[in-house]
């Protein structure tokens, strides 16, 4: 199986292992769309692919029909987000239009929602001293990250030369983006990218989706609780009928078939993880991962192997996991705390470091 799908599936398996601890044997019915309804527990489990990753949903619902319908709405929302908003590959998306207008003195009109998202990303870039930077599209392209990290196609990979990296880096830099907000006369927000610059929202897309999914679930009748996993990003929402906590396992980067510990959560949370073991490729015995340091143009080396952020809001949690991976524990903890998020680092030597607030939720195993 393709590399990234394998690790994502592994993560999901871990999650369900945790969720299913101590359960009775499952009696399940196959749903029309391939999901599984478990009448004794009132759960609907469904696996799909969206946003270049595997998604799994477990919905605690009053009945199979409503669960199935809501599951369908979850998938539709993810598809819509990708197609209309976030994907740089899809001609119909807002990000595609923004990138296509790079260098245009007139800039590109953007929706209020997109302007808000971009504004937050630009602010995070400043607060992370440029470690997090959505303007690194030219750099992610020379590394061909989409090919091996998203499509799992590692054949023919070679790392870019220092010259190629350097020339890509010249096209990056959040400080060179101008975002004009809606003015008093009601005109639309506009973004101005310099020639050659390309946005890549890969570091926040799944987090944006988690927050939108929480909103969607809030609007539904007939669902009491849900866990939705988009690759390494997980939303817990509502509650289980038996009142027990959500259990989310944190993968051990040194052995991705096991976990370093478990988070016990109640209600709505977003759990975002960035790690060097999630998506990577090997060339001449060297391993390259997909989180790039804008200071060097190469995969980040901060001594961190995995970072998990626990936050109420998805987009910032996702952005922070990427930023903290690059910044390392000291600066990363300060940054997470500035956003009111909890953070846990798994270091190269296996050491676990976490914010004080995280200790309440995390149990080592
Ligand atoms: P994942 O998408 O596997 O959950 P992340 O959330 O950490 O992992 O996002 C990594 C993705 O973000 C990369 O595939 C790339 O598209 C983009 N990216 C890589 N480096 C950076 C960076 N320094 N700042 C912002 N985005 C980045
Ligand atoms: Mg991220």
Contact criterion met (CB below 8 Å) for 55 and 48: yes
Contact criterion met (CB below 8 Å) for 306 and 251: yes
Q: What is the pLDDT, as a whole number, of residue 149?
A: 75
Q: What is the pLDDT, as a whole number, of residue 152?
A: 80
Sequence length of the chain is 365
The neighbourhood of ligand 2, an ion, using CB within 5 A, equals 203, 274, 318, 321-322
pLDDT band at 87 (very low <50, low <70, confident <90, very high): very high
357 burial class (0-12, 13-18, 19+ CB within 10 angstroms)?
middle
**What value does the mean pLDDT take over residues 332-346?**
98
CA separation, residue 130 to residues 42, 144, 227, 323 (Å): 46, 21, 33, 9
Q: What is the pLDDT, as a whole number, of residue 146?
A: 85
User: Which of 203, 231, 273, 275, when mutated, tests ligand 1's pocket best, judged by the most ligand atoms within 8 Å of its CB?
Assistant: 203
Q: What is the pLDDT, as a whole number, of residue 7?
A: 42
**What value does the mean pLDDT take over residues 292-303?**
97
Q: What is the pLDDT, as a whole number, of residue 301?
A: 96
Q: For the packed helices 205-218 and 314-327, what is the interaxial angle rounded to 10 degrees?
A: 150
- CB of residue 8 inside a 6 A radius of ligand 1: no
| Range name among 60-69, 110-119, 125-134, 214-223 with the lowest pLDDT average | 60-69
- 234's tokens: 């997980």
Q: What is the pLDDT, as a whole number, of residue 296?
A: 97
Give per-residue pLDDT as tens, 31-78: 445 789 999 989 999 998 888 889 999 999 989 998 999 999 999 999
- CB of residue 322 inside a 6 A radius of ligand 1: yes
Q: What is the pLDDT, as a whole number, of residue 289?
A: 95
Give per-residue pLDDT as tens, 309-319: 999 999 999 99
Most confident of 6-15, 17-26, 212-221, 276-285: 212-221
pLDDT band at 17 (very low <50, low <70, confident <90, very high): very low
Tell me the pLDDT of the chain averaged across its residues. 90
What residue owns the CA closest to ligand 1's atom 22? 132
pLDDT at residue 4 is higher than 90: no
Q: What is the pLDDT, as a whole number, of residue 135?
A: 98
Give per-residue pLDDT as tens, 153-201: 888 899 999 999 999 999 999 999 999 987 667 778 999 999 999 999 9
Q: Which ligand is nearest to the CA of 288?
A: 1
Q: What is the pLDDT, as a whole number, of residue 158?
A: 94
Closest CA relative to residue 272, chosen from 221, 203, 321: 321
pLDDT at residue 21 is higher than 80: no
- 77's tokens: 């929302």
| CA gap 225, 161 in Å, rounded | 49
- CB of residue 304 inside a 6 A radius of ligand 1: no
136 CA to middle of ligand 1, Å?
Answer: 10
């Amino acid at each position: 199986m393709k590399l990234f799908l394998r690790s994502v599936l592994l993560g999901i398996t871990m999650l369900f292992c945790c969720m299913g601890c101590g359960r009775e044997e499952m009696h399940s019915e196959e749903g029309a769309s391939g999901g599984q309804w478990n009448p004794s527990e009132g759960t609907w489990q469904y696996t799909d692919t969206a946003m270049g990753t595997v998604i799994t949903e477990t919905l605690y619902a009053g009945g199979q029909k409503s669960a199935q319908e809501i599951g369908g709405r979850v998938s539709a929302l993810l598809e819509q987000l990708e197609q209309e908003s976030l994907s740089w590959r899809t001609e119909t998306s807002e990000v595609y239009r923004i990138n296509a207008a790079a260098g245009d003195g007139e800039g590109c009109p953007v929706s209020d929602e997109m302007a808000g998202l971009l504004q937050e990303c630009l602010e995070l870039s400043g607060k992370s001293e440029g470690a997090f930077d959505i303007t690194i599209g030219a750099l992610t392209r020379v590394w061909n990250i989409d090919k091996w990290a998203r499509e799992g196609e590692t054949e023919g990979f070679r790392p870019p030369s220092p010259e190629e990296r350097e020339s890509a880096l010249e096209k990056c830099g959040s400080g060179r983006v101008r975002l004009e907000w809606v003015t008093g006369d009601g005109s639309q927000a506009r973004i101005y990218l310099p020639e050659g610059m390309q946005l890549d929202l890969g570091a926040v897309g799944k987090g944006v989706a988690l927050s939108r999914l929480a909103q969607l679930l809030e609007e539904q009748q007939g669902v009491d609780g849900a866990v939705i996993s988009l690759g390494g990003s997980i939303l817990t929402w509502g509650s289980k009928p038996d009142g027990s906590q959500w259990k989310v396992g944190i993968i051990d980067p040194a052995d991705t078939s096991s976990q370093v510990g478990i988070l016990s959560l109640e209600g709505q949370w977003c759990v975002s993880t960035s790690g060097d073991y999630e998506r990577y490729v090997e060339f001449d015995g060297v391993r390259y991962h997909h989180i790039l340091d804008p200071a060097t143009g190469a995969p980040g080396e901060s001594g961190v192997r995995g970072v998990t952020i626990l936050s109420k809001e998805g987009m910032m949690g996702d952005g922070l996991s990427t930023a903290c991976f690059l910044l390392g524990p000291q600066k990363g903890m300060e940054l997470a705390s500035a956003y009111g998020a909890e953070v846990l680092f798994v270091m190269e030597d296996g050491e676990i470091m976490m914010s004080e607030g995280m200790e309440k939720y995390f149990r080592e195993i």
